[in-house]
Structure 1
Amino acid sequence: MPDPEGPSFHQVLIAKSTDGLNWETDSRILIDQASVPEVVRFSDGRLGIYAVDGSGQGGPGYVYAESRDGGKTWTCGKMNFAGFGADPDIVWVAENTMRLYSVMFPFGPGQPPSPGQNTKPNSVNSAISTDGKNFSVEEGTRLEGVNYTDPDVIRVGNEWFMYVSTGPTAWAAKSNDGVKFELIGKVNETGAVSGSFVFPDGKIRHYYCANSGIESALSDTGGSVWKKEIGIRIPKAENVKIVCDPSIISDGKSGYWMVYKIQPK
């Protein structure tokens, strides 16, 4: 039986903004039975969403959705990824090359241990793709830690920063190459599972899951403590139990798109 709190009961939606603070959504479901979405824009204008699969449509643990008409319609398909993982996050490392970060659990794809019983570290691994569908797993691990989940990677100048979550606490790690990360420390204790974005003016904004919905914070540098912003970016509606897992991209013009997941009540 599917976990009643798991991806089988989640839905992926999209919101739009002109300033990164005020977001509007039409509550249209892009993918049903999917969670932890990650959105990317390809150089040819296509949009892609990678998410944890709760329906069995995708590859090992993932479903891939693609739009060729600016997000009006989406088609779900498969991706070729030989590793098992969860919580996908994608960054472009070259014009046509992307790196997929994902969490590998020590208990594998089976039932996780009861809360408080896991003492083995989770690992953040990575894979490379030049077409967005076929991924080759890279050797080694990018970061390890007990109960680490939901990697969120951005590039700031010549440095890479990864944010991982342990419950409502967010932690930052730093890398010079996007491959070997070293933990810096705790950056937020009031919400985690972030989607971070570097704006054209250099502003670093972190969107994250909180009790009231998706909130946001700024940081002076990629590794500094987050400073919470006033307001809620995506509030939790009355008929919704969870609003979480933000992922942000430019709309290709002067605005921004956010994909995120909800769990209806």
Structure 2
Amino acid sequence: MPGIPELAAMPDGRIRLYLSQSLISSDGGQTWTVEEGHFIPSGADPSLVALPDGSYAFFYKGFSGQPDNPPPGQPEQPQLPTTPTGDFMPCSGYGEPLDADQNQIGPWASRLMIAFSSDGLNFTSAGQILADQADVPDVLVMPGGEIRVYFVTLCPEEVRNQIVVAVSRDAANWTYHKTSITGMEGVQPVAVDPTVEFTPDGRIRLYFTSAAASPDAVLQSYSAISDDGYTFEMESGARFGVAGRPVLDPTVLQIGDTWHYFGGGQPGINYHATSPDGLNFTRQDDLKMDDFLFANGIAVEGGYRYYGFIQQPRSAASAIYSVFTTDGQNWVLEDGVRLTLDESSPLEKIGVKDPGVARLPDGRYLMVYSTLIPEYPYDEP
């Protein structure tokens, strides 16, 4: 069996495809030439990672001395999975509202879709559904190239209104896993709106929305820490809150030596705070940028880019844009639109929003975004 292919952009502009052999293309993947050599066993699922020094690390599965091809008359060895067996499968289609009426939009009506870009600016939808009844995604690429998408789901029931993670090696085949947070005493046992960042020591910090365990508590941002990205331990105290006002959808990015926090809760306004350690944040002036709402930030050449969306007034229609900074304080709305609704697609409706973006080992940019499930009975007001 051929296994899962790996695509890699070469420094000279060509594209190389790895399987048991390698193929090279000079015209953007329209035509391919097989290169000499048969360099790894069939089904080894190669993965190429560009290293900071300009060299490459090459990973593939071994088969404990098994021959590449089975002896005549013998069946092939079963292919090993590239990711652990999943904990659940996401549902298909929309679900029942969560403490809301059917004419409102929420995770029960939301679909996560996948898009790609070669430059981080011009994205094209892949027409691939990651999950239904799911929302607020964030993407993390592990040191070995594994792709993880953290999001909130409402279905199946065993993970209703919980943070879960989709895992892949190729951004095409996914398994779905539960997460857990221990030590949530003193706060409500609900964690939503995930964003994940690596800490300087290589652990994974999860920022999320919850509230203190009291009847009059308002939503604010908390964090938990993990060695593996699945089992988290709650960190003491809240990361950010505003007296008397709910704070939603935290997003955090390290810019230079400073951690920058952004949060929502008021239309068109982004709460902004800074921290030297990612734990103790000091509120800064709120950011208002043509109703742009911050969703997910990454480091890019020459600075930092935050992806977000702008929603039309009195409408659910939205499109994805980006802002750029070199210092975290001065932001500029970049020209053009990163992604708009594909009105010809039967998979999305009304608008696109809540982008989570990361750069893959092959140089492409992966975007996971939210849209409305078209069959959901919602009409624009």
Instruction: Please give the TM-score of this superposition, normalised by the length of structure 2.
Output: 0.62
2:293 maps to 1:192: yes
Change (3 A) 1:164 1:185: same
2:366 maps to 1:257: yes
- What percent of counterpart residues are identical? 28
Structure 2: gaps of 5 or more residues: 1-95, 183-188, 312-317, 375-381
Encode CA deviations 1:152-174: one digit per residue, 9 max, x unaligned: 11111111001111222222210
Measure the CA separation in 2 of the matches of 1:86 and 1:50. 10
Change (3 A) 1:24 1:107: farther
2:177 maps to 1:72: no
Structure 1: gaps of 5 or more residues: 111-118
2:272 maps to 1:163: no
Mean Cα deviation higher: 99-108 or 241-250: 99-108
- Conserved? CA contact 2:272–2:286, under 8 Å: yes
- Conserved? CA contact 1:96–1:131, under 8 Å: no
Q: Secondary structure at the match of 1:143?
A: coil
- Conserved? CA contact 2:303–2:324, under 8 Å: yes
- Conserved? CA contact 2:209–2:249, under 8 Å: yes
Measure the CA separation in 1 of the matches of 2:145 and 2:201. 13
Alignment of 1:106-185 (within 5 A): 121-145=218-242, 146-165=245-264, 166-185=266-285
Measure the CA separation in 2 of the matches of 1:59 and 1:128. 22
1:89 maps to 195
Mean Cα deviation higher: 236-245 or 121-130: 236-245
- Count the aligned residue pairs: 253
Q: Secondary structure at the match of 2:272?
A: strand
Q: 1:48 aligns with which of 148, 157, 176?
A: 148
Shift of 1:222: 1.0
Amino acid in the other structure paired with 1:70 = D
Change (3 A) 1:126 1:223: same
Measure the CA separation in 1 of the matches of 2:198 and 2:158. 25
Amino acid in the other structure paired with 2:196 = I
Flag the structure with more relative contact order, 1 or 2, with Cα contacts below 8 A and sequence separation at least 6: 1
- For the aligned residue pairs, the C-alpha RMSD in angstroms reads 2.2
Shift of 1:57: 4.6
Mean Cα deviation higher: 41-50 or 132-141: 41-50
Mean Cα deviation higher: 53-62 or 16-25: 53-62
Change (3 A) 1:58 1:202: farther
Shift of 1:227: 1.6
Q: Secondary structure at the match of 1:27?
A: strand
- Conserved? CA contact 1:153–1:162, under 8 Å: yes
- Conserved? CA contact 1:242–1:264, under 8 Å: no
Instruction: Please give the TM-score of this superposition, normalised by the length of structure 1.
Output: 0.87
2:132 maps to 1:32: yes
